[in-house]
Amino acid sequence: MYIFKYLLISIITLLPIYSSANNPVFTGVGIHTVQLHKTGWNQSMPIIHLNSQEELTLSFDEFAYDTKNYQYSIIHCNANWEESDLMQTEYVQGFMPNPVLDYQYSFNTTFDYIHYSLAFPNEDIQLKLSGNYIIKVFELGEEDKPILTRPFFVSESEVSIVPQIKYTASSSLRSSMQEIHFSILHPRFRIDNPREQIKVVLQQNGRWDNQMTELKPLFVRDSELVYEHNREILFDGGNEYRWLDLRSTRFAAEYVEGISFHDPHYHFTLFPDKNLGDRSYFYREDFNGKYYIDVRENRDPEIEGDYVYVHFKLPVEKPFLNSNIYISGGLTNWQMDTKNQMQYNVQTQMYELSLLLKQGFYNYQYLVQEQSNPHAEVSYFEGNYGQTENDYTIYVYYRSFSDNYDRLVGVNIANSLKYTLTK
Co-location of 151 and 161 in the same domain: no
Is 118 part of a structural domain of the chain? Answer: yes
CATH, residue 195: 2.60.40.150
Co-location of 78 and 42 in the same domain: yes
Co-location of 150 and 163 in the same domain: no
Co-location of 287 and 331 in the same domain: yes
pLDDT tens profile 284-295: 999 999 999 999
pLDDT band at 420 (very low <50, low <70, confident <90, very high): low
Interior CA angle at 292 toward 79 and 326, to 5°? 65
Confidence (pLDDT) at 229:
75
Q: 37 pLDDT exceeds 70?
A: yes
pTM, full prediction: 0.92
Co-location of 188 and 269 in the same domain: no
Confidence (pLDDT) at 18:
44
pLDDT tens profile 63-86: 999 999 999 999 999 999 999 999
pLDDT tens profile 406-417: 999 999 999 998
Co-location of 104 and 134 in the same domain: yes
pLDDT band at 173 (very low <50, low <70, confident <90, very high): confident
Is 210 part of a structural domain of the chain? Answer: yes
Neighbours of 35 (CB within 10 A): 18
Amino acid at the residue 415: N
Co-location of 116 and 200 in the same domain: no
Co-location of 248 and 360 in the same domain: yes
Co-location of 172 and 71 in the same domain: no
**Which residues, including other chains, have CB under 8 Å from residue 376's CB and lie 6 or more apart?**
209, 210, 326, 328, 336, 367, 368, 369
Q: 221 pLDDT exceeds 90?
A: yes
CB 219 within 8 A of CB 8: yes
pLDDT tens profile 253-266: 999 999 999 999 99
Confidence (pLDDT) at 179:
93
Co-location of 39 and 120 in the same domain: yes
Co-location of 189 and 264 in the same domain: no
Co-location of 328 and 391 in the same domain: no
Q: 248 pLDDT exceeds 60?
A: yes
For residue 293, CA distances in Å to 63, 229, 307, 322, 357 come to: 17, 40, 11, 36, 10
Please give the residue range of the domain that contains residue 210: 157-237+387-415
Is 9 part of a structural domain of the chain? Answer: no
Q: Is 360 left (phi over 0), alpha (psi -120 to 50) or beta?
A: left
Amino acid at the residue 271: F
CA separation for the pair 414, 389 (Å, rounded): 10
Is 116 part of a structural domain of the chain? Answer: yes
CATH, residue 122: 2.60.40
